[in-house]
Structure 1
Amino acid sequence: MKRYATSLAAMCCLVAMSSMAQTPYKVVAQWKIGGTGGWDYLLADGPAHRLYITHNSRVEVVDTATGKPVGAVTGLKSTHGIALDPDGKTGYISDGAGNAVVIFDRTSLAILATIPAGTNPDGIAYEPTTKTVWAFNGRSNNISVIDPAKKTVLATIALPGKPEFPQVDGKGAVFVNIEDKNSIVKLDASAKKAVETWSLPGCESPSGMAMDTTHGHLFSVCDGDKMAVTDAKTGKQIALASIGAGPDAAGYDAKNQLAFSSNGETGTLSVVDAAHGYKTVQTLATKKGARTMAYDAATNRIYLMTAEYGAPAAGSKRPSVLPDTATVLVVGK
Structure 2
Amino acid sequence: MRIPQFRFGHVLALATLVSIVGYTTSALPGQSPDSAPLKKVVDVPLPGAAVRFDYQTIDPSHGRLYIAHMNADQVVVFDLKKREVVANLDGFANVHGIWAVPELGRVYASVTGEHKVAAVDMQTLKTIAKVGPVKYPDGIAYAPGPKRVFVSDEHGDADAVIDATTNSLTTTIALGGGAGNTVYDPGSGHVLVAVHEKNELVAIDPATAKIVGRYPVAGIASPHGVVLDVAGRLAFVAGEENNKLAIIDLSNMQVLATYPVGKDPDVLAFDAGLKKLYVSAESGNVTVFREMEKTLISEGTLYMPHAHTVSVDPDTHLVYFPLQNIDGHPLLRIMEPSHTH
Q: Same fold (TM over 0.5)?
A: yes
Distance 2:230 2:206 in 1: 16
State which of 60, 64, 71 in structure 2 corresponds to 1:46.
Answer: 60
Distance 2:159 2:294 in 1: 34
Q: Return the offset for 1:23.
A: 10
Residue number in structure 2 paired with 1:250: 268
Q: What secondary structure is seen at the aligned counterpart in 1 of 2:335?
A: strand
Distance 1:124 1:96, change over 3 A: same
Distance 1:268 1:328 in 2: 16
Q: What secondary structure is seen at the aligned counterpart in 2 of 1:181?
A: coil
State which of 18, 31, 45 in structure 2 corresponds to 1:32.
Answer: 45
Q: Return the offset for 1:24.
A: 4.5
Q: Return the offset for 1:88.
A: 5.5
What amino acid maps onto 2:89 in structure 1? Answer: V
Distance 2:48 2:36 in 1: 35
Distance 1:182 1:60 in 2: 33
State which of 177, 199, 206 in structure 2 corresponds to 1:161.
Answer: 177
Greater gyration radius: 1
Structure 1 portions without partners, runs of 5+: 1-21, 310-321
Q: Return the offset for 1:284.
A: 4.0
Q: Return the offset for 1:94.
A: 1.1
1:260 aligns with 2:273: no
Residue number in structure 2 paired with 1:226: 244
CA contact (8 A) 2:269 2:311 kept: yes
CA contact (8 A) 1:117 1:144 kept: no
Distance 1:88 1:115 in 2: 16
Residue number in structure 1 paired with 2:8: none
Length-normalised TM-score, structure 2: 0.82
Distance 1:279 1:186, change over 3 A: same
Length-normalised TM-score, structure 1: 0.83
State which of 168, 193, 198 in structure 1 corresponds to 2:215.
Answer: 198
CA contact (8 A) 2:112 2:138 kept: yes
1:273 aligns with 2:290: yes
Distance 1:279 1:150, change over 3 A: closer
CA contact (8 A) 1:51 1:64 kept: yes
Query: Counterparts in 2 of 1:32-111, with a 5 A limit?
Result: 32-36=45-49, 37-56=51-70, 57-87=73-103, 89-111=105-127
CA contact (8 A) 2:287 2:302 kept: no
Q: Deviations over 1:177-233 (max 9, x none)?
A: 112322211111112111111122221222211101112211012233321111223
Residue number in structure 1 paired with 2:334: 330
CA contact (8 A) 2:151 2:182 kept: no
Q: Return the offset for 1:256.
A: 2.4
Residue number in structure 1 paired with 2:192: 175
Distance 1:260 1:106, change over 3 A: same
What amino acid maps onto 1:250 in structure 2? Answer: L
Distance 2:191 2:149 in 1: 11
Distance 1:124 1:279 in 2: 26
CA contact (8 A) 1:226 1:241 kept: yes
Q: What secondary structure is seen at the aligned counterpart in 2 of 1:228?
A: strand
Q: What secondary structure is seen at the aligned counterpart in 1 of 2:156?
A: coil
Residue number in structure 1 paired with 2:148: 132
Q: Deviations over 1:65-92 (max 9, x none)?
A: 2321100232121111112223252111
CA contact (8 A) 1:118 1:143 kept: no
Distance 1:286 1:51, change over 3 A: farther
Q: CA RMSD in A?
A: 2.1
Residue number in structure 2 paired with 1:18: none
What amino acid maps onto 1:232 in structure 2? Answer: L
Aligned length in residues? 298
1:120 aligns with 2:120: no
Residue number in structure 2 paired with 1:314: none
Residue number in structure 1 paired with 2:167: 151
Q: Return the offset for 1:264.
A: 3.0
Matched-pair identity in %: 26
CA contact (8 A) 1:241 1:278 kept: no
Q: Return the offset for 1:272.
A: 1.5
